[in-house]
């Protein structure tokens, strides 16, 4: 009996399968963490619905601190997962952002954005922008009481790092737009139709398929400017609307070649900010989520803390 062409596998990874028919199996269903007091860090969190119509919500993290009257920077965080999996309230991201809030002394706003294919890209980008505007408005009681929204930061890992770039570019053409002091791109996911030096061919091919699955309207496949910030037609990097940037990757990160190329392009552009760089020797993609207590993960966290402090 002939197999149905629609059932043909396009991509098979540990966490998902994508079929030619457009169906996707999520093989990794994250365990969800409740909001409340985090036993490890002492950070308190709560969930807030930002837009009931779209379903956009955020988890807000407030660290314990000796001087409750001292206002804290705000960090808006976008989780990774190739736009199709994971959650801001999974145990992985709850633990990571709680640790980040405690270590850096920030009020963190972790964004539960809509996932593809149920909500194709650009839904995630729209949610990221809406969450930034909500955080910057200071309307939430925790943000109003504890946050200094004059010190606003963005951060994200993998697809979330891609979203950070997109929000920075969008801010250039939006008026008014919040002033963003700094941006942290942790192992950001970028791509392109033409391989660059150090980019693994098989992984790049699979990730391009996932991108086109998540964003059916992609123009030029992986050379869509949302995936390839240096493609023809992409907004100039001088339009990045932040004052400082930190780009991190791993020596063995499949996305590392693109991360290095992105940092180099930003540095060489007419952007007037400063772009710092950290590559973790011997480490793979988002290793700091899988083994947060290892020495290299602590090094990444320490670098992020120093970056936010401005020292």
The pLDDT, as a whole number, for residue 65 is 85
Look at residue 287 and tell me if it is in a domain.
yes
- Backbone phi and psi for residue 107, each to the nearest 5 degrees, phi listed first: -85, 115
How many C-beta atoms surround the C-beta of residue 182 within 10 A?
23
- Backbone phi and psi for residue 13, each to the nearest 5 degrees, phi listed first: -120, 175
Look at residue 202 and tell me if it is in a domain.
yes
> In total, how many domains does the chain have?
1
Give the CATH number for residue 138: 3.40.50.1820
Residue 253 a catalytic site member: yes
Look at residue 24 and tell me if it is in a domain.
no
172 with 235: CB under 8 angstroms? Answer: yes
CA 15, 204, 287 angle in degrees (round to 5)?
55
The pLDDT, as a whole number, for residue 2 is 45
The pLDDT, as a whole number, for residue 28 is 82
Look at residue 66 and tell me if it is in a domain.
yes
87 with 30: CB under 8 angstroms? Answer: yes
Domain that holds residue 215: 37-309
For every residue of 29-96, DSSP letters joined together read -PPBPPSSB-TTT--EEEEEEEETTTTEEEEEEE---S-TTS-EEEEEEE--STTTS--TTBHHHHHH
Q: What pLDDT tens digit does each residue of the chain (311 aa) get?
A: 345 777 899 999 999 999 999 999 999 889 999 999 999 999 999 999 999 999 999 999 999 987 888 999 999 999 999 999 999 999 999 999 999 999 999 999 999 999 999 999 999 999 999 999 999 999 999 999 999 999 999 999 999 999 999 999 999 999 889 999 999 999 999 999 999 999 999 999 999 999 999 999 999 999 999 999 999 999 999 999 999 999 999 999 999 999 999 999 999 999 999 999 999 999 999 999 999 999 999 999 999 999 999 96
Does the model's pTM come out above 0.95? yes
Residue 158 a catalytic site member: yes
Q: Annotated catalytic residue: which of 87, 99, 110, 158?
A: 158
Look at residue 204 and tell me if it is in a domain.
yes
Q: Annotated catalytic residue: which of 79, 94, 146, 285?
A: 285
- Backbone phi and psi for residue 235, each to the nearest 5 degrees, phi listed first: -60, 140
Look at residue 4 and tell me if it is in a domain.
no
Q: Annotated catalytic residue: which of 38, 140, 206, 253?
A: 253
- CA separation for the pair 75, 178 (Å, rounded): 13
Look at residue 15 and tell me if it is in a domain.
no
Look at residue 228 and tell me if it is in a domain.
yes
């Amino acid at each position: 009996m002939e197999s149905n062409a629609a059932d043909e596998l396009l991509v098979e990874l540990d966490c998902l399968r994508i079929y030619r028919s457009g169906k996707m199996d999520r093989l990794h269903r994250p365990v969800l963490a409740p909001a409340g007091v985090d036993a490890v860090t002492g950070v308190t969190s709560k969930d807030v619905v930002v837009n009931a119509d779209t379903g956009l919500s955020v988890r807000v993290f407030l660290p314990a601190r000796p001087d409750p009257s001292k206002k804290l920077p705000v960090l808006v965080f976008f989780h990774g997962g190739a736009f199709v999996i994971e959650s801001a309230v999974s145990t992985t991201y709850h633990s990571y952002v709680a640790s980040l809030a405690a270590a850096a002394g920030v009020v963190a706003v972790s964004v539960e954005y809509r996932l593809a294919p149920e909500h194709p890209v650009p839904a995630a980008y729209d949610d990221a922008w809406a969450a930034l505007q909500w955080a910057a408005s200071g309307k939430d009681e925790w943000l109003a009481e504890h946050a200094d929204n004059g010190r606003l930061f963005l951060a994200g890992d993998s697809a979330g790092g891609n979203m950070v770039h997109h929000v920075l570019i969008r801010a250039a053409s939006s008026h008014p737009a919040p002033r963003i002091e700094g941006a942290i791109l942790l192992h950001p996911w970028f791509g392109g139709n033409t391989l660059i030096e150090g980019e693994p061919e098989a992984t790049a091919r699979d990730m391009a398929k996932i991108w086109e699955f998540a964003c059916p309207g992609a123009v030029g496949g992986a050379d869509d400017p949302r995936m390839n910030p240096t493609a023809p037609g992409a907004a100039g990097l001088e339009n990045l609307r932040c004052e400082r940037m930190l780009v991190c990757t791993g020596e063995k990160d499949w996305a590392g070649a693109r991360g290095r190329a992105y940092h180099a392009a930003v540095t060489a552009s007419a952007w007037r900010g400063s772009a710092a760089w950290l590559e973790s020797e011997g480490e793979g993609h988002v290793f700091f989520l899988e083994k947060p207590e290892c020495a290299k993960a602590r090094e990444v966290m320490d670098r992020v803390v120093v970056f936010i402090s401005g020292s």
